[in-house]
Every structure is written in C-alpha cells, then in structure tokens.
Chains A and B, each alone.
Chain A
Amino acid sequence: MKNKNAYIAIGIVCVVLGAALTVQIRTMQGENSAVAQAFANSELKDSLLEWKEKSENAEKDLEESIKKLEKLRDTSTANGNSSEEKQEELKKYNQILGLTDVTGEGIVMTVTDSAQSSTAIDMNNLIIHDSDLRSLVNELSNAGAEAISINDERIVSTTAITCAGNVILINGNKVGSPFTIKAIGSQASLYGAITRAGGYTYGLKARSIQVETKKVNNIQISRYTGALTQKYAKEDK
C-alpha cells in the first residue's frame, strides 16, 4: 500500500513537471532569449564574413577584367594611325569619366568631426553630414576641379553621396570621419574657393568642425572601381 502511494505521488509530481515544461517551452518560443540572440548574432557574423570575401573576390575579378580590357584595346589598335587616334580619344574620355588613375596639382582637405562633445550644443551641428560633403564637392567642381575623391572614393558622374545612419555612403561604399578630400585642378582657384570668407568651410568652422586645407603638388587620385553602365538612356540618331 505504501508503495502504491509512492507511485501516485511521483505521478503527480510528473504532472506538474510536464505542465511546467510545456508552458515554459511555449512561453520561450515567442521570446528572443539570450541564447537565440547569440545564435542569430553568430549567424549574422558568418554571413558578413562570407559577403566580405565575396566582395573582395569580385573586386579582384574586376581588376583582372580591366587589365584584360586594356590589353585587348592595345592589341586591337596596334595597327594603323586612325586606330591609334581612337585609342588616344578613348583614353581621354576614360580619364574624364574617372576610369583611370590620375595625378596632378591641387588641394587636399581633411575634414574631421568636432572634438567637442557637449550636450548643450545640438549634436547635429558637431558632425559632418552627407549634405556637407555634397556642398564641398559642389564648391570644388565650381572651382574647376578635374578629379575629386573622398576617402579614395572617386566622384564620378553617377556618384551619390547619401546618409546611412552613422556613416555616409559614397558610390555605395561606407566612409566615415575623418574625410580626406582630394581635388586636382588649379591650386589657386581651388584653395581660394575653399578658404574664401563666407565660403562653405566658414560655416563648418563655425560649427567647430575641424577643416584643414593644404596645397599639394603631386596628388594621386585612384580610379572609380565600379561599373559605369547605362540601360535606359539611348543615343539620339
């Protein structure tokens, strides 16, 4: 008889155990538990690494293809004067489009977020926004810059400078402060446009953003690494 009681008692505790387990599992299914979050995090890290590798591979492929293309152009225009002229023309247009590495005199600007971190001032004024970079590029273009790059992102005809949270996207790539803006063109006119009284950098300095402008004689600006393609615009005949 005593034995039977033991079985019943253990059975009752098992009922409690089963009910509690089921309720617990049903509750945890809907929640983001710490374990589930850690799993999600490591999965995200894995996929990030994968994509990074893929993008690196793609960049390598692109470089190889560009080299191949140059070789093909060289061989196809190896004979004949007219084709040599065409080759020169092609090179010139590629340079204007920003598809070649270029060197020349110009200015180098370093623009850094404000070192102040006061809560009394509007934080928005202390950091550099995409609109600031757009205005600077605009100013440089207006002063006759022939090639511009920001943190080695070449500004070309299709370049967009957009805001993406706490970073800025240029050509779809992330850049952050400090920004190094290189511009090739007439040193005097570029320097004058940037440092003139009431110019855009005046406004930046008033917001305590650090702007440093230097005249440099031998600036190297690397080419645009993306692809310039047009799908909808057709040539007029």
Chain B
Amino acid sequence: MMIISIIVGCILGVVIGFITPTIPYTVSQYLAIAIVAALDSVFGGIASNIKKNFDMKVFISGFFVNAILAMLLTYLGEKLNVDIYLAAIIVFVGRMFNNLGIIRRYYLSKISEKSKKIREKDKK
C-alpha cells in the first residue's frame, strides 16, 4: 500500500515536471534544497507510519517549515557568501539515513518473523 502510493505519486510528479517549464538557473539552488527537504519528509513519513505515531499536522507542517527554513538559509548564505545550505543538506541527509535505518529494521524483523513461522509450521 505504502509502496503503491509512493510510486503513483512519483510518476504523477514526473509527468507534471515534464509539463511545467524549466526554471532560471539562480532559482535552481532553492529547488534543489526543496527536493532534499521533500525526500526527508517522505522518509520521515514512512518511518513514523511504521512506528504508528504518524500525525498529519506534524507531517505537513514539517515539510513546509523545513523546506522554507532551508531556502531561507540558502538565501542568507548567498548574501553572506557562506554555503550555509550545506548545513541544511547535512541535517536532512542525516535524518534520511536515521529514518531509513528504522524502516530497514522494521522490514528485516518482519521477514525474520515470517521465516520463523514457516519453520515452526514445518516442524509441526
């Protein structure tokens, strides 16, 4: 179910992306940050769904506030001539790996449980 919604969403997104015109080069930096924020949100959503503490308000607000803060940091970095957006990227990617770890553990334990059950059945 989860995988289906992700795949359908991505395909729809790619189709929309091909229809919309390309953006100017200077804006592409901000879009890149938004992409990383969206990726982080997707992983966070899946992980919280697995932990059964998914909250719609937290999910939506997290996505928008994180993306906007990251874009503001990029803008500030451009004005100060410091690559502050790197900090946002590091935090996002670090969280992505954390969430990926949670997702991985969940599915690994699921698989091992299944195989245990099969073995027990075989014994009987």
Report the separation of the CA atoms of residues A15 and B59 in the bound assembly, to the nearest whole angstrom. 15
Inter-chain CA distance A19–B24, complex, in Å, is 16
Q: Does any Cβ of B come within 8 Å of A8's Cβ?
A: yes
Would you give the shortest CB distance from B65 to chain A, in whole angstroms?
14
* Chain A residues in 8 Å Cβ range of B112: none
Q: How many residues of A contact B (CB 8 A)?
A: 27
| Chain B interface, number of residues (Cβ within 8 angstroms) | 36
Q: Which residues of A contact B80 (CB under 8 A)?
A: none
Across-interface contacts of A72 in B (CB, < 8 A): none
CB distance from B76 to the nearest CB of A (A): 21
Known: A14-B42, A19-B17, A19-B20. A3 touches B49 (CB 8 A): yes
B residues 1-58 near A (Cβ < 8 Å) are: 1-2, 5-6, 8-14, 16-18, 20, 22-25, 28, 31-32, 34-35, 38-39, 41-42, 45-46, 49, 54, 56
Q: Is B60 interfacial (CB-CB < 8 Å)? A: yes
Given A13-B45, A20-B35: A6 and B56 interface contact (C-beta under 8 Å): yes
Contact A7 B41 (CB under 8 A): no
CA distance A18 to B10 in the complex (A): 5
How far is it, in angstroms, between the C-alpha of A20 and the C-alpha of B54 when the chains are bound?
Answer: 24
B59 touches A23 (CB 8 A): no
A10 lies within 8 A of B17 (CB)? no
Q: Does B92 belong to the interface (CB within 8 Å)? A: no
Partner of A28, one of B6, B10, B28: B28
Residues of A with Cβ closer than 8 Å to B? Answer: 2-3, 5-24, 26-28, 30-31
Binding site for A on B (CB under 8 A): 1-2, 5-6, 8-14, 16-18, 20, 22-25, 28, 31-32, 34-35, 38-39, 41-42, 45-46, 49, 54, 56, 59-60, 63
